Amino acid sequence: MNLAAATNENLAHISNVLIYSSMAVYLLAFFAHMAEWVFGSRSKVGRTAAALTQKPTAQAAAGSVKVQVKEKNGGTAVLERPSVVTRAVSGTRDVPDGPGASGGDEQGDLYGRIAVSLTVLAFLVEASGVLTRALSVQRAPWGNMYEFNITFSTVAVAVYLGLMLAKKNIGWLGLPLVTTVLLDLGLAVTVLYTASDQLVPALHSYWLYIHVSTAIFCGAVFYVGAVSTLLYLFRDAYESKLANGGKPGKFAASVLERLPAAASLDKFSYRVNAAVFPLWTFTIIAGAIWAGDAWGRYWGWDPKETWSFITWVAYACYLHARATAGWKGRKAAYLALIAFGCWLFNYYGVNIFVTGKHSYAGV
């Protein structure tokens, strides 16, 4: 059988056109997100500063309620019961979430809706490009690094839109997501591009659908967790500066005030990473089973296997540290970013710079 003849060049060309078209729409979404951040009202900016710098009251009472009590001798004593007043106490770091990228105003919300609509359109176009790529060779569209890249960015956007549909307030993720997707697709269509072709014999297995698809999904979720962790570090530094009496610059205040509170970002990133960690564990196990079928051994410390395991250990350390009182906050966040760095090296570095049994498909 002539494998080259099995490739539908027309569908492969359509796929390329759709990927380039999705990049154009993502670029429009990028500009819309920028407009949301730049032109959105700042009327709500400053709530964090107010919460962190308000001085505690000298007295707990701000008024009194008179209560009459009858005494045994027939007289009446008047007692005063203080009313409770709740105030923000400096240094507690219990602050409200930011108003989001748009600042909560009508103009900003309009730009935000346009940005999300364009992101949905770009996602549908890109997903069509991935599908036609698969149809052009009648197989899963992740046989090389180019296909892995376009599928990964599609799934990352799908995770973001899925969380939006689940009523999660993650509008702040839109701009970094679209920016990353544009960089990812730019790298895919230039450095990593590979013409549509059939798979090498080693990849002809149903495990290709199971193992690689779960790896892509885990990576997309890990990416969401990494972005929220990075933003947490910036927001936490901003809140710390305010709590210590510092005065951030206007640009920092304008941008960071729109993010959720540091505690909210920390909790979100932890939940995201913790939720997908069991699936990453399954991904490694599935890869080992596939290796047993293809190469006659379950584990051989191939570079891809080694870095998958290192990534697993790094995320396990992060989750353990995050659950330990002494390692919450910034220390655990650094571990999370190191873990995602391991995943990125396993994704790019091992495939491009290291030779091993997983190097059969080139880039």
Give 10-residue mean pLDDT values along the chain (363 residues).
63 95 97 86 54 49 47 52 40 66 71 93 97 90 88 95 85 92 94 80 76 93 95 91 81 81 91 95 91 78 88 94 79 94 89 63 51
Distance CA 283, CA 311 (A): 12
Return the SS3 of 143: coil
Residue 239 in contact with residue 259, Cβ under 8 Å? no
Chain centroid to CA 362: how far?
Answer: 28
pLDDT reported for residue 58: 40
Residue 233 in contact with residue 182, Cβ under 8 Å? no
Residues 63-74 as b or e (16 or more Cβ within 10 Å = b): eeeeeeeeeeee
pLDDT reported for residue 24: 97
pLDDT reported for residue 41: 59
What tokens were used for 256? 């960071």
pLDDT reported for residue 284: 93
Distance CA 277, CA 283 (A): 10
The burial class, CB within 10 Å (0-12 / 13-18 / 19+), for 142 is: buried
Among 149, 221, 218, which Cα is nearest to 186's?
A: 149
Region of 91 on the Ramachandran plot (φ > 0 left; ψ -120 to 50 alpha; else beta): left
pTM above 0.75, yes or no: yes
Query: What sign does the dihedral 276-281-287-293 (CA atoms) show?
Result: negative
Residue type (1 letter), 160? Y
User: Which residues, in sequence order, are bridge partners of residue 66?
Assistant: 80
Among 211, 232, 361, which Cα is nearest to 298's?
A: 211
pLDDT reported for residue 295: 75
pLDDT reported for residue 220: 95
